[in-house]
Amino acid sequence: MHETKRDERIHEIIARLRQRYPDARCSLEYNSVFELLIATMLSAQCTDERVNMVTATLFKKYRTIEDYAKADPAELEQDIYSTGFYRTKAKNIQAAARRILEAYNGQVPKTMEELLTLPGVARKTANLILGTGYGITSGIVVDTHVKRVSKRLGLATSENPEKIERELCELIPRKDWIDFSHLLVFHGRAECKPRPLCSNCCISELCPSKLH
């Protein structure tokens, strides 16, 4: 596709999605960047809805980073049990809390390099913390919805999330990186599901995968 035509198409896709989902944002509920970090860690292999149910109680019980660092591991495991993989998640949450206290003076880091030193944090989580938590444009969050929708739109070809992120970052204007992830997540949940609802889709005529 000619570069100008391609850029116009991407601009139109983003504009239509913004119109369709004016409230597109991170669905996780939190009161601080550290709580966003915890919620994101809990969201692995778990729905945001379930995570929000768990954190509604969790965030009242554990008020500070120190509370997580000093928590009884077995008790923390039970507190997050319903999110799945609770032993690994509890271990990572505690280890991340301790590292933030010891290495970063109790402040969640603001760089990709530093965030990746935290146990349980990979690029997807780090991008979300930077973009949603701090408003820092570092990359594009690639979850299952972003992966599915971007591939259907022909914006990415890889199966690997990090390669998909690189493909998208080459195409999507940097100023739109943070919003783009949220827009694709909302669209993936509402219409571009594993079995897509193409007849309702606001960008169907811009999609090479449209089902007729």
pLDDT tens track for 86-117: 999 999 999 999 999 999 999 999 999 999 99
pLDDT in tens, 47-79: 999 999 999 999 999 999 999 999 999 999 999
Helices (H), the chain: 3-20, 33-42, 48-61, 65-70, 73-79, 86-103, 112-115, 123-128, 134, 144-152, 161-171, 177-190
pLDDT in tens, 21-51: 999 999 999 999 999 999 999 999 999 999 9
Q: Is 114 exposed, middle or buried (0-12, 13-18, 19+ CB in 10 A)?
A: middle
| pTM as predicted | 0.94
The more confidently predicted of residues 211 and 195 is 195
Catalytic residue among 79, 89, 124, 147: 124
> What is the set of domains in the chain, with CATH numbers?
3-24+140-206 (1.10.1670.10), 33-134 (1.10.340.30)
Q: Is there a catalytic annotation at residue 60? A: no
Q: What is the pLDDT of residue 59?
A: 98
- In one-letter notation, the amino acid at residue 127 is N
Q: Is there a catalytic annotation at residue 124? A: yes
Q: What is the pLDDT of residue 61?
A: 98
Question: For residue 212, is pLDDT > 90?
Answer: no
Q: How many helices (H) and strands (E) does the chain have?
A: 12, 0
Catalytic residue among 143, 151, 176, 179: 143
pLDDT in tens, 157-203: 999 999 999 999 999 999 999 999 999 999 999 999 999 999 999 99
The residue length of the chain stands at: 212
Sign of CA dihedral 68, 72, 78, 81: positive
Q: Is 22 exposed, middle or buried (0-12, 13-18, 19+ CB in 10 A)?
A: exposed
Question: For residue 3, is pLDDT > 90?
Answer: no
Which pLDDT band, with edges at 50, 70 and 90, does 1 fall under?
A: low
Taking all residues of the chain, what is their mean pLDDT, rounded to a whole number? 97
| Number of Cα atoms under 13 Å in the Cβ half of residue 82 | 12
Q: What is the pLDDT of residue 191?
A: 96
